[in-house]
Amino acid sequence: MPLKCRDILGLEHMETDDIKIILKTAESFKQILERDIKKVPTLRGKSMVTLFYEPSTRTRSSFELAGKYMSADVINFSKATSSVNKGETLKDTAKTIEMMGVETVVIRHPAAGAPHMLARHLDAAVVNAGDGAHEHPTQALLDLFTIKQKKGKIEGLKVAIIGDILHSRVARSNIWGLKKMGAEVVTAGPKTLLPPFLDELGVKVYTKVEDAIDNADVVNILRIQLERQKKGLFPSLREYSIIFGIDSDKLKYAKEDVLIMHPGPLNRGIEISSEVADSDRSSINEQVTNGVAVRMAILYLLMGGGKPGEQANY
């Protein structure tokens, strides 16, 4: 089944059916990733560009590998950008890419809405690899995929998202995706890092981590950035780790078989203790593999190439 959407801009407006198709398709690609020889010819002759206005080795490599495992041609564009020295405008860059005739553009940008702007100017499919604090749909999809693989379902599970919700695109996309898939979503973090009216997104909001974690099936821990301390949003990393850092003690409130997730990279000893990160309840390493599988599914679905299911035969 083809996707209804032609771009992957966010999960807020993505149809639930599309989410399900992506998760289903990713299962086959996960199997490919478990093989010795991972390369399949699915997207031979297709090309994609990764356009990263923010440094991110993880996400970029994940997309790049996803494309390469399916034999697509992958070109990387890096752009240093700031509001003062913007250089070439996004619109002009979009035009340039258009002329190169690529099928898919993967964009990471510090400004919310940049992928949407790109999508307005491009015929190529646009995949949002993170726009400001707005959305990071492929991360949320890989999180959903991980939960589904580990727990067998998403519906009815209690998922706690802990940390800096205010600046987190991962949190926003996860909230939309989890709600669509029928999970119960709760959040917790310092009051200063919880955006206003968060509850109107259909999630419960706590400032005590223990309240959020209570009886949770999944705890998704967000990365905290030192920069937020400098802006006066919390006093110190030390205090943050004491009150909001997830360690075995706080995890006692969760279900016994709680699944621990983190989008990475980890600040060990700050938002997550090493003991928790390295425990068998943690799926942090598997999330990385699943990220490639989900991105393969997305690129495959956007760029066509045979029917879903067929790729499992390669």
Partner 1 sequence: MNRLIIKGGRVIDPSQGIDKISDIFIEKGKIKAVEENISIENAEIIDASGKIVTPGLIDIHVHLREPGFEAKEDIESGSMSAAAGGFTSVACMPNTNPPADNKSVVEFITEKAKRVGLVNVYPIGAISKGLKGEELSEIGDMKHSGIVGISDDGEPVMNSNLMRRALEYSSMFELPVISHCEDLNMSGEGVINEGLTSTILGMTGIPATAEEIMAARDIRIAEFTGGKLHIAHVSTKGCVELIRQAKAKGINVTAEATPHHFTLTDESVKTFDTNTKVNPPLRTAEDVEAVRQGLKDGTIDAIVTDHAPHTIEDKEVEYDYASFGISGLETSLPLVITYLVNTGILTLSQAIEKMTINPANIINVPKGTLKPGSDADITIIDIEKSITVDTKKFKSKGKNSPFNGWELKGSVAMTIKSGNIVYKNNGD
Q: Which residue has the tokens 């928790």?
A: 276
Q: How far is CA 155 from CA 21, 176, 201, 224, 231, in A?
A: 16, 13, 17, 28, 38
Give phi and psi for 260, each to the nearest 5: -100, 130
Determine contact, residues 175/161, Cβ cutoff 8 Å. Answer: yes
Q: Where are the beta strands (DSSP E) in the chain?
A: 47-52, 73-78, 104-109, 125-131, 158-162, 184-188, 204-206, 218-221, 259-261
Q: How many residues bind partner 1 (CB under 8 A)?
A: 29
Candidates 39-47, 161-169, 179-187, 281-289: pick the segment binding partner 1 (CB under 8 A).
Answer: 161-169
Q: Does 135 bind partner 1 (CB under 8 A)?
A: yes
Candidates 97-105, 114-122, 152-160, 244-252: pick the segment binding partner 1 (CB under 8 A).
Answer: 114-122
Angle between helices 137-151 and 284-303 (to 10 degrees): 120
Structure tokens belonging to residue 247: 């360690």
Among 77, 113, 151, 279, binds partner 1 (CB under 8 A): 113
Q: Does 269 bind partner 1 (CB under 8 A)?
A: no
Q: CA 26, CA 231: separation in Å to the nearest integer?
A: 40
Q: Does 14 bind partner 1 (CB under 8 A)?
A: no
Q: Does 132 bind partner 1 (CB under 8 A)?
A: yes
Among 169, 228, 250, 262, binds partner 1 (CB under 8 A): 169
Q: Does 39 bind partner 1 (CB under 8 A)?
A: no
Q: Closest approach of Cβ 89 to partner 1, in Å?
A: 6
Q: Does 197 bind partner 1 (CB under 8 A)?
A: yes
For 259, the 3-state DSSP assignment is strand
Q: CA 131, CA 205: separation in Å to the nearest integer?
A: 24
Q: Does 140 bind partner 1 (CB under 8 A)?
A: no
Q: Closest approach of Cβ 74 to partner 1, in Å?
A: 24
Q: Does 65 bind partner 1 (CB under 8 A)?
A: no
H or E stretch covering 205:
strand 204-206
The residue (of 94 and 141) whose beta carbon lies closer to partner 1 is: 94
Q: Does 95 bind partner 1 (CB under 8 A)?
A: no
Q: Does 198 bind partner 1 (CB under 8 A)?
A: yes
Determine contact, residues 110/89, Cβ cutoff 8 Å. Answer: no
Percentage helix, strand, coil, to 5, in the chain?
40, 15, 40
Rg from Cα positions in the chain: 19
Q: Does 12 bind partner 1 (CB under 8 A)?
A: yes
Among 36, 99, 196, 280, binds partner 1 (CB under 8 A): 196
The DSSP call for residue 83 is S
Among 36, 83, 230, 313, binds partner 1 (CB under 8 A): 83
Q: Does 91 bind partner 1 (CB under 8 A)?
A: yes
Binding footprint of partner 1 on the chain (CB under 8 A): 12, 83, 86, 89-91, 109-114, 116-117, 131-135, 167-169, 172, 195-198, 200-201
